[in-house]
Structure 1
Amino acid sequence: MNNKIQKILDSYQNEMVETLQKLIRIKSVVEEGSPSSPFGEGIRESLDFIMELGKAKGFECNSFDHYACELNLGEGEESVGVVSHLDVVPEGSGWSFGPYGGELVDGKIYGRGAVDDKGPLVASFYACLAIKESGETISKKIKHIIGTNEEGGRFPCIEHYKKNGRVPGCGIVPDSWFPVAYAEKGFYNYQFTKKLESSSGIDSDRLPRLVDISGGEALNIVPMKARASFFCDHKDSAKIKSAIDAFPFADRVTIEEEKNILTIIVKGKAAHASTPEIGINAIAILLQLLTKINFLPYDLFNTIHSLADLVANDYDGTGLGVNYSDHTGDLTNNIGIISFQDETLHLKMNIRCPVTFHKEDLESKLSAKANENQMSYELLNYSPPFYMEPEHPMIRLLTGIYQEFTGDKETKPKAHGGGSYARILENFVPFGPSIEGEELCFHKQNEHISCERLFLLSKIYAEALYQLAK
């Protein structure tokens, strides 16, 4: 390893922490935009923050219509890159620390984006700065490319950069796993919709009427809260409460009552949609619970039962008939968002497809399942998988760098269900920051990164970029 670069990074540790704290305090959730702020004011503020910091440190800085920016060092026609993103998923509820506070507690920095992806972004920034200040000779330009809309899965910011900038010949994406990811499953966002046929036959004196259903915040998060409201009398209310008492997940259900409205609230456990098995999906539990209650309207009652059978009892696509596996892992299905408005029920979901599963087969099976159950089906977004041969020279180089800094020679390059910019950038490889076996905290409440990990990341990324560029 280059000791000169490593020593420079040691001198920046306090500043690294302060920079990450400031960046976390900017709420950079994608919102409705404008020409000067394509993805909202918070995104624009965070992009301006990085641009101003880059200029202050002497980088050549270029903005691409506020969709993305790049910070450059070195000379030459050829370049290598590191690609980060500023946007974060919504904060949700249940935090012990302010989600945008950037609090430093017991050596850990808390806040949305601490791991995904502001922490790795800051580590990468100082990695580039240390290479720049070292004066070490490199034969290629190094570009730190920063996007602003990654969490939605479509990557419009980097697509814009690809059209208007010069994409490096190779690079790293610090938004994944160590030692390196050689594959990312395909993304498949889709929706089942049921438009109620009729409001006739409703007798509120005989059965409760389901008037509202909601839950979830984003397709790439296992939802931690879902709710359903009934219009009912005291007799109906007692029946609903009795069904809840007999429900296996009754401890996750609370009730609110106001006049003739009874609301069921289900609490789940948040997780990243790529690992639904470590979360508890509140919408899935709610669907299961609603099958234990008799309610009107009848076509909504029947639809809820169908959906529960299709998606609420597994996370591997068994109910949908798409439970598929290959050498890159199992298919996963996450129920992300549910809503019932204007007599229409929407259920939005995210599938992570193993790399050999064909999109056309998936579409055919999902469409058929929707039609069989009198629902409509719509593809919302598809992102093809990323794959690089596990023995590729870049995979071997980056694995070796990880091993040199950690001493971990047991953990192997892996395939997983996450999604990064690597899937749309040729010869870019997902590289950290997560380590096999640790508890994942991205897309969850109390997201955090330790200062120790932040410093380690800066050193690993500096060495990787230096090796690729020298």
Structure 2
Amino acid sequence: MIETNIPKYQEELIKTLQTLVKFKSVKDAPGPNAPYGVEISKTLDAALEIGEKMGFKAVNVDHHAGYIEFGEGKEMLGILCHLDVVPEGTGWSHPPYAGVVVDDRLYGRGTLDDKGPMVACLYAMKILKDSGFTPQKRIRLILGTDEESGSNCMKYYLEKAEKPTVAFSPDADFPVIHGEMGIVLAEFTKKFGPQDEDGGIKVLEIKGGTAPNMVPELATASVVSPFDLSEIVALYDKADLVLTQEGSVSHIKCHGVSAHGSTPEKGVNAISQLIQFLSILDLQIGDTSDFIRYIAERIGTETDGESLGIAHKDYFNALVSNLGMLHITENSGKMVLNIRYPITYKERKLKKAIDSAIRGTGIELTNWHCAPPLFFKPDHPLVKTLMTVYKTCTGDENAKPITIGGGTYARTMPNAVAFGALFPGQEDTMHQKNEYIRIPDLMKITEIYTQAIYELSK
């Protein structure tokens, strides 16, 4: 019945996703009734209005979050989605906020992460409702608005609204995510003293990165050099560098390739590439050059934390580290690392290793935020039910639950796991330019989520 009904919703489903993609729901300065920015608040309003027009109960939780609910009952099935997106970056072949369809692909920021899966779940609820299904649990599609920047929206939701009895989040990979690595955002700062006017290159500013959980695709440096840098830049073949001159100031741009912070090896880190180049130059002696060379030597282009002394691997995963943001001025330097550590590793051991790595350098660990790992045994009833649904809908009898480096809303709720929406072997364009979702995949995940909601709420 589900497979037969789903195709007739395709056109409507696509239009709904296009409507939501057109909102540039990137976190911005707070405003009235907009704690995470006006565009995010507008996106939430639009999503709730769509749900209400479908005949569902729609509630705005003080503009921090919202939910769309179907059915009655004491127990509740929660579906945890988010409407905020990371910045679009540059280099798109199609406008990032237009929802253009080309060759069965719907392009736009959020199509995979997480507006596309959210719309699939909404229509899964509608398909069940239209079929006359009466759930034994309330089905609540919970809409967050700050997932990409720390999930403060879910903290607020939990203070003001009801927790689900059981939940899943369509914000990762298929099949079922039974484990998520620990996630640390570590901010390092150093105050600089006067530089030694020794005839070397003076660094005015270095800047790169827009979010810690993205591999930066652009980094820039402004320097004053006593000699012409053009030949050195032209001969350097380990990075994509562009040099421009403005009076006595040389501006160097380094272009990389963006990727999700949980898989930094899939991108090219523009900050790391630029720092490696600058570290070989004759910089003025002082705190600034010390900070630059420390980053080059102890972080470099590595994504495993080996030179920083934090590399670790267990049965499930290996640690990954992403140098997500850097800002150096004449007076100070600040960098932010996004670290994903294995499920069996301990936060205290990781922090101890980092404290040891910066001891005696003048670098201070000024901010530390940790989201502990999440783990369910593969034979947990929730994992088993969702695995059965996935195998039934895809025919993949060899599929097994997996662990990932990404962090999802599943961490914020009890008895919750991530479930989809990226299929094994499928191109992952989350947090990258030209993010897209294939329309056949969009319809397939709608089928899977319809079946999952049915099984978990019947």
1:134 alignment partner in structure 2: 131
Matched letter for residue 442 of structure 2: L
Residue 372 of structure 1 and its aligned partner are, at CA, apart by 3.1
Residue 297 of structure 1 and its aligned partner are, at CA, apart by 5.0
Equivalent residues in 2 for 1:36-185, closer than 5 Å: 36-152=33-149, 154-185=150-181
Q: Give, in whole Å, the separation in 2 of the partners of 1:246 and 1:194.
A: 32
1:243 alignment partner in structure 2: 232
Residue 223 (structure 1) aligned to one of 216, 219, 234: 216
Residue 184 of structure 1 and its aligned partner are, at CA, apart by 0.6
Matched letter for residue 271 of structure 2: I
Task: Report whether the alignment pairs 1:309 with 2:274.
Answer: no
Deviations 1:411-455 (A, max 9, x none): 321111001010121111100011222221000000000111111
8 Å CA contact 1:243–1:293 kept in 2: the answer is no
Residue 246 of structure 1 and its aligned partner are, at CA, apart by 4.4
Q: Give, in whole Å, the separation in 1 of the partners of 2:190 and 2:16.
A: 47
2:266 alignment partner in structure 1: 278
Q: Give, in whole Å, the separation in 2 of the partners of 1:448 and 1:288.
A: 33
Q: Give, in whole Å, the separation in 2 of the partners of 1:375 and 1:69.
A: 41
Matched letter for residue 233 of structure 2: I
8 Å CA contact 1:231–1:261 kept in 2: the answer is yes
Moved over 4 A (4+): none
- Aligned CA RMSD, in angstroms, stands at 1.4
Residue 210 (structure 1) aligned to one of 179, 188, 203: 203
8 Å CA contact 2:218–2:256 kept in 1: the answer is yes
2:408 alignment partner in structure 1: 420
Residue 299 of structure 1 and its aligned partner are, at CA, apart by 2.0
1:232 alignment partner in structure 2: 225
Task: Report whether the alignment pairs 1:32 with 2:29.
Answer: yes
1:341 alignment partner in structure 2: 329
Which one is further off, 111-120 or 337-346? 337-346
Deviations 1:255-290 (A, max 9, x none): 111221111111111110101111111111111111
Residue 424 (structure 2) aligned to one of 436, 442, 461: 436
Q: Give, in whole Å, the separation in 2 of the partners of 1:107 and 1:325.
A: 39
Residue 137 of structure 1 and its aligned partner are, at CA, apart by 3.0
Q: Normalising by structure 1, what TM-score?
A: 0.95
Residue 248 of structure 1 and its aligned partner are, at CA, apart by 4.0
The alignment partner of 1:109 has SS state of strand
Residue 245 of structure 1 and its aligned partner are, at CA, apart by 4.1
Residue 35 of structure 1 and its aligned partner are, at CA, apart by 4.6
Residue 288 (structure 1) aligned to one of 276, 284, 287: 276
The alignment partner of 1:112 has SS state of coil
Q: Give, in whole Å, the separation in 2 of the partners of 1:98 and 1:341.
A: 34
Which one is further off, 91-100 or 397-406? 397-406
Q: Give, in whole Å, the separation in 1 of the partners of 2:438 and 2:205.
A: 41
Structure 2 unaligned runs (5+)? none
Q: Give, in whole Å, the separation in 2 of the partners of 1:328 and 1:426.
A: 22
Residue 101 of structure 1 and its aligned partner are, at CA, apart by 1.2
Matched letter for residue 177 of structure 1: D
8 Å CA contact 2:233–2:242 kept in 1: the answer is no
8 Å CA contact 1:192–1:370 kept in 2: the answer is no
8 Å CA contact 1:317–1:333 kept in 2: the answer is yes
Residue 232 of structure 1 and its aligned partner are, at CA, apart by 2.5
8 Å CA contact 2:233–2:243 kept in 1: the answer is no
8 Å CA contact 2:194–2:286 kept in 1: the answer is no
Equivalent residues in 2 for 1:389-468, closer than 5 Å: 389-468=377-456
Structure 1 unaligned runs (5+)? none
Residue 377 of structure 1 and its aligned partner are, at CA, apart by 1.3
8 Å CA contact 2:69–2:141 kept in 1: the answer is yes
Q: Give, in whole Å, the separation in 2 of the partners of 1:121 and 1:465.
A: 13
Q: Normalising by structure 2, what TM-score?
A: 0.97
2:183 alignment partner in structure 1: 187
1:14 alignment partner in structure 2: 11
Q: Give, in whole Å, the separation in 2 of the partners of 1:120 and 1:459.
A: 11
The alignment partner of 1:43 has SS state of helix
Same amino acid, percent of matched pairs:
36
Q: Give, in whole Å, the separation in 1 of the partners of 2:404 and 2:6.
A: 31
Residue 362 (structure 2) aligned to one of 363, 367, 374: 374
Q: Give, in whole Å, the separation in 1 of the partners of 2:127 and 2:435.
A: 27
Residue 138 of structure 1 and its aligned partner are, at CA, apart by 2.1
Task: Report whether the alignment pairs 1:365 with 2:353.
Answer: yes
Matched letter for residue 80 of structure 2: V
8 Å CA contact 2:193–2:286 kept in 1: the answer is no
Deviations 1:35-58 (A, max 9, x none): 511111001100000111111111
Matched letter for residue 238 of structure 2: F
Residue 63 of structure 1 and its aligned partner are, at CA, apart by 1.4
The alignment partner of 1:461 has SS state of helix
Task: Report whether the alignment pairs 1:196 with 2:185.
Answer: no
8 Å CA contact 1:223–1:336 kept in 2: the answer is yes
The alignment partner of 1:271 has SS state of coil
8 Å CA contact 1:179–1:412 kept in 2: the answer is yes
